[in-house]
Amino acid sequence: MSIKQNLTNPEPWAGLAMGNEAVARAMIEVSTRVITTYPGSPVPEIATTLNLIAPEHRDFYFESSTNEKVALEVATGGSLNGHLSTVFFKSVGLNVASDSLIQLSMLELIGGLVVILGDDPGANSSQNEQDNRIWARMSYIPMLEPGSPTEAYQMYKEAAALAKRQRGPVFLRLTTHVCHAREVVQFAAMSGEEPDWTPRFDANNGPYWPIAAAVFPLKRKALQKLQAYEALAEESPLNRVLAPHGVAPVDSKRLGVISAGIPAYSVLENIDQAGATVDLLKLGITYPLPSQKILAFLEAHDEVVILEELERVLEGEIKALAYDNSVKCRILARPDWDQVMGEFDPVRSYKLLAGFWPKAFEPRDFPEPSAEVVPRPPQLCPGCGHRSAFHAVKKAIESDTITVADIGCHSLGSLPPYNMGEVLLCMGHSVSTGAGLAVKNDTRKVVSFLGDSTMFHAALPGIINAIIYNHNVTLVLLDNGTTAMTGHQARHGSGEIGDKIPIIGLLETLGVQKILDVDSYNQRKLIAYVQEANAHEGFAVVIARHPCMLKFTRASRKKSPGLKLPKIAVNPEQAADALPAMEQFGCPTFQRTEDDQVGVSEDLCIGCGSCIMSAAPGTLKIQRPLAPAPASAPSPDGAKSPGAKSPGGVK
Amino acid sequence: MSIFNVYLTGVGGQGIGLLSGALGTAIVDVGHKVLGCETHGLAQRGGVVVSHLRVGEGAYAPRVPPGQADLVVSLERLEGLRGAVNMLRPGGRIIFYDAEYQPIAVRMGEAVYPKVSDIEAEVASKGGTVERVFDEDLSDPRMQNVALLARVAALGAIDKITPARLEKAIAASVPAKLLETNLEVYRRNLGL
Ligand SMILES: Cc1ncc(C[n+]2csc(CCOP(=O)(O)OP(=O)(O)O)c2C)c(N)n1
């Protein structure tokens, strides 16, 4: 049984499901009414799953908002009206949303609100591995932490029930490999509640106005709710002791481990494999901690290891608890400073446990990689307009120009062979960081890159700032009409969500003095435009646009399976002239042959022709398939792409 | 029951999802317990993509630990080598499709793409077995995954995963329009 066919199955069923899919089913099962998000790994598949239900068949409201703060606020409003509401986004999304989040525990959210975080220990797809458990402490919001798809499903339901009962926010903290793990999950029946959209907002449920002295009664209420949560955590079966091999002393010592999430499962695997009589207190509710349960566990053992990922959150709180209660148990934790980095898989947890307790976990040799293998960093796809843009900008700028990267597929411009984008903070930073680099700087030009989706997400205040102070920055806006990096979610103002917001019109209205707009495939014009913008004193924008060709090609192939695309061919008489296309333009289509010539991968080439201008005239040519010639790809704004005579084959 | 670790790997865009989807479904269908994990996000842009399937009781963490894969299945040669070096256990088995996708360092002339013999030497040093898969007649590279699945089934590389079982799982995973051509490739590569 698959989630695709059974997402709305009213009966209980079981089937293979990914963590994200299981959470989506849980939302629907308990009749979550207002759901919002902003895309980001590791959680975008929650949205993909919800989108399996056509909008007209949903008894919930779902939107992908312009950024995480907006998403959180919309969900908060839903909850204020009495609807069970949920917002989900990636770890760093909480930084964007935090200004609103920090108020929430002080407010009576009568419908309940679940805030789902996609944390990313190991920085698998993020710019850091920030530990959002700390946010729970700062905002007085309780936190649940699953370690498997089944738990993610169960804990969403528990979080929703708690949020409704306590009329407040609850965190569900997923991590990357919980989101993307798969196992058979047993789902329950649908609640089948009829939607009731009555707006029940009532200021008398408040006050909802935390300002100055009015903060304290509200803060008191938040802290009282936290007390109630601690009592619930003491009772909850989500905090439980697992003793797969029974309780017996090892080397005359009673041993235990306290852990949560996936690290707890790494430990369980270690205990199981070693046959060790070590107990595990697995915490599901990790804020507030169940003090009595933890004290009882400490008192029942002579030594306890606290094994957590990232910051020393459990360690600090449990050690304080033990100190205050004069507990005799010896508490052990990660000894080295660098152990606050990265994930704890079963190898790493085994090494840690064997270091403390060699009798229970016999020291083992774990295999190390036997050789170096050539790395394979991610790269821009064949036909990507960003590649054309980076290639042209590199030619257009002086060697001492400072280039500022932003977040999106275009972050890959920072890698060889382009090396465009030398500093990166977060989504939408590039214009303002560039502005600072340009301050009192008369010698080195600054070029900032930015994606179209990111512009709407977080860059507009920075752009307005650059206009007002006329910061001497050239913004190269890489407009592919979509949010490509996270899976081609519709970009706000692209026409897929609401009406089109014309980017040029928007920038003109804001007051940008110089706006130049070109299809990225048109290398000559793009180079000239970047030079023109750089010659302009002050803030200038070059829009380098081309539709995302991965999205376009996939759509074309879906429409006509078996579609034959044109291919690039190297003119054998000019073989040596093709090297720049492979080494500098760097389309993956070009593969080095054994005699160091340029070969073309038939598998990868989409026949877009974007490479032609990267080699001497006559070197590269498009070879059309025998099938009828395909039409041009549309530009994001609907115009024809001058450089893209044959990108697809879809009319 | 002990854990049987399967590590699937390839290059973003090669269709590793079908590999893990079909194998996962078949493994559940024959009554084994399975815990898996996939790559999503950044790496899907032409980088290394991997998928883990841990079969049997006793697997609690979703990823196969380094050096503990009983079976490595790769859609590409360099990734096959990487899988053999980093993930294969001594005495393990690797089945790889011999597609070649050069990473940027090779295209820029700064590194050398491996030969099939490099994989063979690596696997031999671990006392394992290696099978190269290549279908001369493939009309579309996006069916390399199906050719590879056929060899996994034909070799009986995973307990109880027979050609018929896996065919059923593929049929449940591939869009109807493409099913017939895919099954043709599958059956041809069973080599039975
Ligand atoms: C605060 C925050 N939210 C979400 C993400 C996830 N994320 C990474 S790139 C990206 C969008 C990129 O879209 P765009 O700027 O249009 O560039 P493209 O990938 O299309 O080139 C998102 C949402 C993030 N890194 N940070």
Residues of chain A with CATH 3.40.50.920: 240-356
pLDDT at A631: 46
Confirm or reject contact between A586 and chain B (CB < 8 A).
Answer: yes
Of the candidates B149, B167, B146, which has an alpha carbon nearest to the alpha carbon of residue B158? Answer: B149
pLDDT at A493: 86
Confirm or reject contact between A596 and chain B (CB < 8 A).
Answer: yes
Q: Could you read off the pLDDT of B103-157 as tens digits, one per residue? A: 999 999 999 999 999 999 999 999 999 999 999 999 888 899 999 999 999 999 9
Nearest chain B residue to A408 by CA: give it: B42
| Residue A386 alpha carbon, nearest atom of ligand 1 | 21
Q: At what angle do helices B144-154 and B16-29 cross, to 10 degrees?
A: 30
- The answer as to CATH 3.60.40.10 being correct for domain A240-356 is no
Alpha carbons A91 and A126: distance in angstroms, whole number: 8
CATH of the domain at B101: 3.40.920.10
Confirm or reject contact between A248 and chain B (CB < 8 A).
Answer: no
User: Are B178 and A561 an interchain contact pair (Cβ–Cβ within 8 Å)?
Assistant: yes
List all residues of chain A from 500 to 529 with a beta carbon under 8 Å from chain B.
none
User: Are B45 and A379 an interchain contact pair (Cβ–Cβ within 8 Å)?
Assistant: yes
pLDDT at A499: 83
The DSSP bridge pattern shows strands B4-11 and B69-74 to be parallel
Alpha carbons A326 and A531: distance in angstroms, whole number: 71
Task: Could you please state the CATH topology (level 3) that the domain comprising A566-623 is classified under.
Answer: Alpha-Beta Plaits (3.30.70)
pLDDT at A642: 36
Q: Quote the percentage of chain B above a pLDDT of 90.
A: 88
pLDDT at A635: 46
Q: Give chain A's count of helices (H) and strands (E).
A: 21, 25
For residue A230, what are its two tokens? 């601690």
On the question of pLDDT at B192 being above 80, the answer is: no
User: What is the Å distance from ligand 1's center to B57 Cα?
Assistant: 39
For residue A242, what are its two tokens? 């697992």
Task: Could you please state the CATH topology (level 3) that the domain comprising A385-550 is classified under.
Answer: Rossmann fold (3.40.50)
CATH architecture of A3-235: 3-Layer(aba) Sandwich (3.40)
pLDDT at A558: 87
Residue numbers of the domain that contains B48: 4-190
Residues of chain A with CATH 3.40.50.970: 3-235, 385-550
Alpha carbons A585 and A608: distance in angstroms, whole number: 14
* Residue ranges for chain A with pLDDT beneath 70: 626-651
Alpha carbons B181 and B184: distance in angstroms, whole number: 5
Give the number of other Cβ atoms within 10 Å of residue A560's Cβ. Answer: 14
Q: Residues A350, B16: contact at Cβ < 8 Å? A: no
- Percent helix / strand / coil, chain A, rounded to 5: 40, 20, 45
Q: Quote the percentage of chain B above a pLDDT of 70.
A: 97
pLDDT at B41: 65
On the question of pLDDT at B77 being above 70, the answer is: yes
Mean pLDDT of chain B: 94
ipTM: 0.97
Counted domains in chain B: 1
